[in-house]
Structure 1
Amino acid sequence: MNTSPKIRKVFQGVATRQQMFRMFDRHAQRPDRWDGDASPRYAFEWFEITDAENDYMFEVLPSLWIRGSIFAMREYLTGSVTSVFFNLRIDGAIRHFHGYCDLSDNSSVEHMRVAIVDRESRPVRSMSQKERLEHIWSSTADDYRGYAGDRWPQRNRGHRTVVLYGGREGTFLKMLDDLTDDEISAKLPVHLRHLPSSIAA
Structure 2
Amino acid sequence: MSTHPPFRKVFEGVATRSQMFALFDRHSDTPGVDPLSGVPYASEWFEISASEYHFMLGLLPPLFQRTGMFGMSEYKAGNVTSVFFAIRIRGRERWFHGFCDLSDKHSPDAMRAAIIAHETGALDSMTREEKLEAIWSATHADFRGIAGETDPDAWPSEHHGKRTILVYTVGQGTTLKLLEDLTDEEIDSRMPAVHARSRRRGGNDAELS
> TM-score with structure 2 length normalisation?
0.81
Instruction: Choose which of 163, 174, 177 in structure 1 pairs with 2:177.
Output: 174
Count of equivalent residues: 194
Q: Structure 1 unaligned runs (5+)?
A: 197-201
Worse overlay, 155-164 or 113-122 = 155-164
- 2:82 equivalent to 1:79: no
Which stretch of the first structure deviates more once superposed, 137-146 or 120-129? 120-129
Give the 3 Å change call, closer, same or farther, for CA 71–36 of structure 1 in structure 2.
closer
Aligned 8 A contact 2:118 2:125 in 1? no
Is the Cα contact below 8 Å between 1:76 and 1:82 reproduced in 2?
yes
**1:148–1:159 CA contact under 8 A, matched in 2:** yes
**Deviation, structure 1 residue 15:** 0.7
Cα deviation, 1:60-82, whole Å, max 9, x if unaligned, reads: 22221112221111121121111
Match of 2:48 in 1: 49
Amino acid corresponding to residue 93 of structure 1 in structure 2? R
Q: Is the 8 A contact 1:30 1:158 kept in 2?
A: no
| Conserved? CA contact 2:13–2:195, under 8 Å | no
- Aligned residues with identical type, % of pairs: 48
Aligned to 2:29: 29
Alpha-carbon distance between aligned partners in 2 of 1:11 and 1:63, rounded to the nearest angstrom: 24
Shift of residue 176, structure 1, vs aligned partner: 1.0
State the match for 1:8 in structure 2: 8
Alpha carbons of structure 1 residues 47 and 161: separation in structure 2 relative to 1, 3 Å: same
Deviation at 1:5, TM superposition (A): 6.6
What secondary structure does 1:63 align onto? Answer: coil
Return the alpha-carbon distance in structure 2 between the equivalents of residues 10 and 82 of structure 1: 16
Greater mean deviation of Cα atoms: 178-187 or 120-129: 120-129
Pair 1:121 & 2:120 matched? yes
What CA distance in whole angstroms lies between the structure 2 residues aligned with 1:154 and 1:110?
41
Question: Could you say which residue in structure 1 is the equivalent of 2:134?
Answer: 135
- Matched residue SS, 1:41: coil
Secondary structure of the equivalent of 1:31?
coil
Counterpart of 1:180, as a letter, is T
SS at match of 2:126: coil
> What's the offset of the Cα at 1:45?
0.4
Distance 1:36 1:119, change over 3 A: closer
Structure 2, gaps ≥5 residues long: 203-209
- Report the RMSD for the aligned CA atoms in angstroms: 2.6
